[in-house]
Amino acid sequence: MMTRTASAWRVLVLLGALGLAGGAGASEGHQEEPEHEGMAAMKAQMAGKAPGHHGGVHWGYTGAGGPAHWGDLKDEYILCKIGQNQSPIDIGPVVEARLQPITFDYGAEPLEVINNGHTIQVNRGGGAIMVDGQSFRLLQFHFHGPSEHTVGGKHYPLEMHLVHRSADGHLAVVGVFLKEGEENPALAAVWEHMPEQAGGKARAEKVSLDVNALLPEDRSYFRYSGSLTTPPCSEGVRWLVLREPVEVSAEQIRRFREVMEANNRPVQPLHARKILTPF
């Protein structure tokens, strides 16, 4: 446990040093450590001090750094504890509403797959969706196992999150459930380059992936206002969870769970929110 936490921390410091870490909230929190923070932590470590306010505990999914403690680990993570619009949620009763379809405009591009210790993530340089008449550019997509959102209390084996950002900095995340069935050839291209160790990074110039191939045929969706599902748990995220799951093989599920221990935040209270779905 200590070894894992320490190595996950080193990975984030490394990502920060490489300039890979985005700004807060820019990538659904999976690369949320700004560079200066990584540098400060590195200096603190060199000075023999543990980073962070609480004995150097970094966030994760178990123990002292687990989801129940995220809001106490750093001041910036306070919304994880007191937010009223948190994600994920259980998708129970829905309200039918006049909603426009999401327009997907994804293309084929070379893959860059990273293992950041919290998830397996594919960084993207292009592609976009249209929501509310606004364009949101695809930044990255990544995976959770088991699924973070549940439907009627039931988890799917995996869930993919496609993280998008508008020109004015708003986030829209498309969630796709993955269920056991036929092998998924598009996913196979990603899994083939999945780094087994945290901090691993695989670039595959010759394998280009059409992200459309990872989406179900039916693009109907559940919509609600939520948050990043990882610290700092920032709110104001447009969540668009596709209703139809995509099939992946039992072996593909097993492979992910072998590399990544359970990385799902438990479902959060809905409070005053409604879940909408198009007519």
Q: Which residues are tagged catalytic?
A: 118
Q: How far is CA 23 from the centre of its chain?
A: 15
Which one of the spans 78-86, 153-161, 178-186, 241-249 is the region binding Zn ion (CB under 5 A)? 153-161
User: How many residues sit in the footprint of Zn ion (CB under 5 A)?
Assistant: 1
**Residue nearer to Zn ion on the CB measure, 155 or 161:** 161
**Residue nearer to Zn ion on the CB measure, 5 or 147:** 147
Which one of the spans 82-90, 157-165, 219-227, 252-260 is the region binding Zn ion (CB under 5 A)? 157-165
Q: Are 8 and 56 in contact (CB under 8 A)?
A: no
Query: Residue 107 CB, nearest distance to Zn ion (Å)?
Result: 22
Residues 6+ apart with CB under 8 A from 77: 59, 70, 71, 231, 232, 233
CA 249 to CA 186: how far, in whole Å? 12
Asked if 161 interacts with Zn ion (CB under 5 A), we say yes
Query: Residue 223 CB, nearest distance to Zn ion (Å)?
Result: 17
Asked if 149 interacts with Zn ion (CB under 5 A), we say no
**Two tokens, residue 42:** 């590195």
**Residue nearer to Zn ion on the CB measure, 161 or 165:** 161
Which one of the spans 7-15, 128-136, 161-169, 238-246 is the region binding Zn ion (CB under 5 A)? 161-169
Asked if 164 interacts with Zn ion (CB under 5 A), we say no
Q: Which residue is nearest to Zn ion (CB)?
A: 161
**Residue nearer to Zn ion on the CB measure, 173 or 275:** 173
Residues that bind Zn ion (CB under 5 A): 161
